[in-house]
Structure 1
């Protein structure tokens, strides 16, 4: 027994038994029918029966499925910055977070294509309550973050996650992906939560907790969707927040968001790997500030990198101009693109409610404002 058993992915030795456990699950059959529409069940099931490692499962089944998702629901994926990374090297990728499944899956696909170490990735346990999803998640090398904990239980859980991430990075040479905040960004404002960084430092047992960041290779990642496939689904929570009301999730909300993220329209997608924060972290470490201030500085640094690396699409510029009643970015889009974007939100939201319109447009416009800030500071 390992102390990490409650949260860890499967070991390779457990992979085949886990696969066989879900082999006849209707959800897997539907997933494989989507991924391999011209193949029959017997063939892919036979291949799965002879799969004995997480890497083989990811490459032979998850990766083709992801390529099919891109083919069916996007206008393609572009990338930048992967040439900055070295093979056989573990990185801590801290990313903005828009889509439950695709953010980390797309990053891993790019890492695989570039011959780089794929990640073990954080996922909230609220998203994997169904037995099939939990098994699939562990086969896809996810580790679980326990949600809804408080007090001592929360501290113990944070310590466990922190220790697991350190072990992955420094002992197993396994890259790690985590979002810059708990949960997805709903309003387009990608800010790093200080608590996420503080949690990571819990693994540093000796000396200055901030020295942890000097021992690892931290890489901010920016992911940009031209159309957020879950934009409309995020609206009720945004409106509740704007109206200072308590928001309560519906029973199947997480699963609906997960499904919509996969099949919903995205248009173009871009992933930008920003520079490894090496010298910058050393400078913060030597600043003489207390831990709290050092973490504030690192949060700001990660934010600036993510904002600067964010690929701004016509949808972002259109939303900005509509939100502020300007034509500041009119040269960044065509009239056809503007009409298509306007039709999208007019068909999906109540345009008679000014709060709804404002929050929907801000979701796309905020990255424009944030990149403007980043360019003025970097």
Structure 2
């Protein structure tokens, strides 16, 4: 598998050396201090010596980290649909993408607790430039999506990634997670990029696109945070886009966003696994001969599932009413919930900045607006 060396996660026989290599990093001290508060660092450093696989590391350490994150920064995680999945079957999970670290971490915690196959997960190489983050990502079965390449190299990189995902699903029997788009959704409009599906299809070989996609066992997943801990951090990029300006990230921006996502208050969180996309692919094959049309149709099925299964917390209804200066959904939230949300808005957005206020509210309201549109669509 040497052609995958630039992007792959650690093999089990590399785990112990990599883990011990970062065990004295101040960031590891902080991570383990958060995970096991009050425990002397000698204890977990000693335990690291006995970790010889990704699975050991995830079960014995990272699962505890994610549970601590939930305990300290959320009011609980609920799930639907995962009980319908087969414990022996690898799936390709495609989800909406709101948080750099948490989206895939939460899915994997749910898979672990349901006895399902945990995922190898895609992460942009721009997010793991620090040695500690790079090694930690590979210790968590993350593989690297290479960003910012020239067009020809980008094509080659996409081909390799497609083959790697195929290898994981079909030969290593490992589930895979990828986001439905490159980068996080900043405005609350969850939409699958055709480029992601095009990349997956590169490994189809002699199979038709729809037959190959059947073998991937695609499961759309909706991730719904009541509060987005990085909501205000997304504003500068949205405003730059509004003004048609290029947005340049500061050097540590991605890292600070990761920290905010992990430690910031999320209130309630819901994960909903949709149905495996299967017979719909037969319909698409009959209906469309053109490959691009087929890709569009698959993207639409994923979008419909994610939008329909998205949990509409009170914050979505409050934001809609504030955005439109109405009380249309007043029966969906309490006055206390509304006041708490208004307080959050006022703390995070300058009250005199009407445009930022509008974008902030739209970010929360758009999943509701998209669900309404989806339900109004007449069946074809």
TM-score (norm 2): 0.98
Following TM superposition, by how much is the alpha carbon of 1:84 offset from its aligned partner in structure 2, in angstroms? 1.4
- Deviation string 1:45-74 (CA, Å, 9 cap, x unpaired) is 111110001001001111000100111111
**Contact kept in structure 1, 2:221 and 2:273, CA below 8 Å:** yes
Q: Provide the rounded CA distance (Å) in 2 between the counterparts of 1:49 and 1:286.
A: 56
Structure 2 residue aligned with 1:240: 240
Following TM superposition, by how much is the alpha carbon of 1:207 offset from its aligned partner in structure 2, in angstroms? 4.4
**Contact kept in structure 2, 1:322 and 1:361, CA below 8 Å:** yes
Question: What's the RMSD between the two structures over aligned residues?
Answer: 1.0
Deviates more, 1:281-290 or 1:1-10: 281-290
SS at the partner of 1:3? helix
Following TM superposition, by how much is the alpha carbon of 1:179 offset from its aligned partner in structure 2, in angstroms? 0.2
Q: Provide the rounded CA distance (Å) in 2 between the counterparts of 1:11 and 1:245.
A: 42
- Deviation string 1:325-346 (CA, Å, 9 cap, x unpaired) is 1111100000100000001010
Q: How does 1:192-207 map to 2 (within 5 A)?
A: 192-207=192-207
Following TM superposition, by how much is the alpha carbon of 1:289 offset from its aligned partner in structure 2, in angstroms? 2.3
Structure 1 residue aligned with 2:49: 49
Q: Provide the rounded CA distance (Å) in 2 between the counterparts of 1:241 and 1:313.
A: 27
SS at the partner of 2:144? strand
Distance 1:46 1:275, change over 3 A: same
Q: Provide the rounded CA distance (Å) in 2 between the counterparts of 1:268 and 1:38.
A: 27
Structure 1 residue aligned with 2:270: 270
Q: Provide the rounded CA distance (Å) in 1 between the counterparts of 2:114 and 2:207.
A: 37
- Deviation string 1:288-341 (CA, Å, 9 cap, x unpaired) is 421000000111111010000100011100000111111111000001000000
Structure 2 residue aligned with 1:311: 311
Following TM superposition, by how much is the alpha carbon of 1:115 offset from its aligned partner in structure 2, in angstroms? 0.3
**Contact kept in structure 2, 1:317 and 1:365, CA below 8 Å:** yes
Q: Provide the rounded CA distance (Å) in 2 between the counterparts of 1:81 and 1:140.
A: 24
**Contact kept in structure 2, 1:201 and 1:210, CA below 8 Å:** no
Matched, 1:230 2:230: yes
- Deviation string 1:22-47 (CA, Å, 9 cap, x unpaired) is 11111101100110013211111111
- Deviation string 1:241-289 (CA, Å, 9 cap, x unpaired) is 1122111111111111011000011011000001111111221123242
Matched, 1:283 2:304: no
How many pairs are equivalent?
378
Structure 1 residue aligned with 2:18: 18
SS at the partner of 1:276? coil
Q: Provide the rounded CA distance (Å) in 2 between the counterparts of 1:150 and 1:94.
A: 26
SS at the partner of 1:286? helix
Structure 2 residue aligned with 1:328: 328
Q: How does 1:111-130 map to 2 (within 5 A)?
A: 111-130=111-130
Structure 1 residue aligned with 2:83: 83
TM-score (norm 1): 0.98
Structure 2 residue aligned with 1:109: 109
SS at the partner of 1:268? strand
Q: How does 1:341-356 map to 2 (within 5 A)?
A: 341-356=341-356
- Deviation string 1:109-157 (CA, Å, 9 cap, x unpaired) is 0000000000000000000000010000000000000000121100000
Q: Provide the rounded CA distance (Å) in 2 between the counterparts of 1:206 and 1:84.
A: 31
- Deviation string 1:186-209 (CA, Å, 9 cap, x unpaired) is 000000000000010001121433
Q: Provide the rounded CA distance (Å) in 2 between the counterparts of 1:97 and 1:322.
A: 25
**Contact kept in structure 2, 1:305 and 1:374, CA below 8 Å:** no
Q: Provide the rounded CA distance (Å) in 2 between the counterparts of 1:137 and 1:285.
A: 38
Q: Provide the rounded CA distance (Å) in 2 between the counterparts of 1:179 and 1:234.
A: 18
- Structure 2, unaligned runs of 5 or more: none
- Structure 1, unaligned runs of 5 or more: none
Structure 2 residue aligned with 1:182: 182
Structure 1 residue aligned with 2:4: 4
Runs of 4+ residues deviating >3 angstroms: none
Matched, 1:33 2:30: no
Following TM superposition, by how much is the alpha carbon of 1:371 offset from its aligned partner in structure 2, in angstroms? 1.1
